[in-house]
Amino acid sequence: MKELRQWEFDIYALSLPRGHGFGDRLPVGAWQSDDGLACGVVTRDATDGSFGFLVMRRRVDFVWIVTSKEHGFTSKTEACARMGPCMKDGSPREALPPGVPPRPSLYDFQERTPNDIFKLLAGPSHFPAAWTLHQLYLALPRPDQNWVSDCQTRNFHTRLWEAQILASFREQGLLVTQPVESPDFHIENRSGEEAWVEAVTANPPVPYNHVNASLIAAPTAREEIFFGSAALRFAKTLGNKLGRDYHQLQHVAEKPFMIALADFQAPASMTWSREGLIGYLYGEGAEVIEVDGSPQAITMPRKHLLGPSKFPSGLFSDDQHSELSAIIFSNACSLAKLNRVAVSGRGAPEGLRYTRIGRFFDRTPGALEGIPFCLDVTSDKYRRLWPQGYEPWSAELEVFHNPFARNPVPFELLPEATHWFEEGGEQVCRSFYATSILWSMTLITDVGKPEPRLEDFLAKSDPEQ
């Protein structure tokens, strides 16, 4: 056996029904068989100090399944000794259960021509993302039969978002299942709190090639930022999902229902579109004015979005959509995210530098623009931003609560997300991670070349300029 690094075991553990949710029996070490077909973790009971282990092995289609689980050992050494034979090093992969078809290979194209963004996964700079996406696909409880073909061709970003949202949920220890065709996920914590989640992406009115697409200038006027084209695209995307009346399904009725939304409406739009979602959901924007010589943020209400359609804003400003409990959002659904999780965990290919550039959320009262940063993803400084020692899946995950929800979402259901909710008539933010990132981009360069300068990049890409 060889010892596994934490980040690598944590990726494999996303295939467990509860992911990283080990309860009171916490991992104290993980190992992999020499043939790579088995993974074992030793756990220790937080109450009585006893030890145990869990072994996963690959099926013939490479999906992880739990094959052994024991507890009650007096030492870590004893648990390891018992775990070793259970990993069955050198044995064939596990057989499929009766009636279960093999999961198609993510990288078997058959007669299909992959899209350009999928082709990026074949390049050395995206090897970490290619490996990570494959592991997440194998971790999905029950992907639909078109998942692979969609990912390889016309619906790459939709499938990427499903994989990433699964990782975010199971990283938080949730039991994640896909028991029905829709909504996409059922999630539940150990306290029995639960919700249904439908994943969706905001797509462009006219499709474009996402690879090397020319960046569209971000809006600068405050009204356009909060109530312009981005807000309208979110409104139409969410309206389409709400029109399907998921809340009327028998298995969803009287339970919290959320829509998980990621943005691909324009090249790099996720670096500036978040405010458009806020404007549409709550019918409010924000601007900074000077009061007694100090900047102060004030609300900027608006009942309709910009444009001739006069689309109403404020989806969460009354009880007309009380069936929707909350919106889950991330501005980091990308291949860059898949790269960074592995690279920050010391999985970087040799000879390449991964540099993340963007703005931290500034918690200073009245601040709206954020604090610029430029960090090497492999640096200790970057890793120290996160308690795991590498970038977590939930770092950019935000939950926007509907104050009129018929079935509210408990904060404890998504404990590691950032929550936005109404309290005392004001919008309040509650964050799990000390570091929150408003927007970012990740640059990949050869180590031998000069490191990019933050000021040069911001001059071209900063949404505020």
Q: What is the pTM of this model?
A: 0.93
Residue 375 has pLDDT above 80, yes or no: yes
Residue 459 has pLDDT above 50, yes or no: no
Question: Helix or strand or coil: residue 204?
Answer: coil
**What pLDDT digit, counting tens, does each position of 129-138 carry?**
999 999 999 9
**What pLDDT digit, counting tens, does each position of 19-49 carry?**
999 999 999 999 999 999 999 999 999 999 9
The residue ranking higher by pLDDT, 297 or 201, is 201
| Average pLDDT score over the chain | 92
DSSP assignment letter at 184: S
DSSP assignment letter at 395: G
DSSP, residue by residue, 127-174: HHHHHHHHHHHHH-SS--TTHHHHHHTTTHHHHHHHHHHHHHHHHTT-
Residue 347 pLDDT class (50, 70, 90 cuts) = confident
Residue 465 has pLDDT above 60, yes or no: no
Task: Report the alpha-carbon distance of residue 403 to residue 412 in Å, rounded.
Answer: 17
Give pLDDT, residue 40: 97
Residue 166 to residues 90, 161, 407, 449: CA-CA distances in angstroms?
31, 8, 22, 36
Structure-token match 């969609």, residue found: 150
Q: Mean pLDDT, to the nearest integer, of 117-127?
A: 93
**What pLDDT digit, counting tens, does each position of 407-435 carry?**
999 999 999 999 999 998 888 899 999 98
Residue 298 pLDDT class (50, 70, 90 cuts) = confident
Residue 64 has pLDDT above 50, yes or no: yes
Among 163-172, 192-201, 267-276, 404-413, the range scoring the smallest mean pLDDT is 267-276
Residue 17 has pLDDT above 70, yes or no: yes
Residue 296 has pLDDT above 90, yes or no: no
Give pLDDT, residue 450: 61
Task: Report the alpha-carbon distance of residue 204 to residue 369 in Å, rounded.
Answer: 26
Give pLDDT, residue 427: 87
The residue ranking higher by pLDDT, 206 or 246, is 246
Question: Helix or strand or coil: residue 20?
Answer: coil
| Contact in structure between 442 and 391 (CB atoms under 8 Å) | no
In this structure, what token pair is assigned to residue 415?
A: 């404990």
Give pLDDT, residue 456: 52
Give pLDDT, residue 356: 97
Task: Report the alpha-carbon distance of residue 284 to residue 370 in Å, rounded.
Answer: 19
Give pLDDT, residue 367: 66
% of the chain exceeding 90 in pLDDT: 83
Residue 285 has pLDDT above 70, yes or no: yes
Among 287-291, 296-300, 430-434, 439-443, the range scoring the smallest mean pLDDT is 287-291
Residue 453 pLDDT class (50, 70, 90 cuts) = low
Residue 366 has pLDDT above 50, yes or no: yes
Residue 252 has pLDDT above 90, yes or no: yes
| Contact in structure between 108 and 141 (CB atoms under 8 Å) | no
Structure-token match 């079935």, residue found: 407
Residue 464 has pLDDT above 60, yes or no: no
Residue 455 pLDDT class (50, 70, 90 cuts) = low
Give pLDDT, residue 319: 96
Residues whose CB falls within 8 Å of the CB of residue 132, separated by 6 or more in sequence, listed in order: 11, 338, 339, 341, 342
Residue 288 has pLDDT above 90, yes or no: no
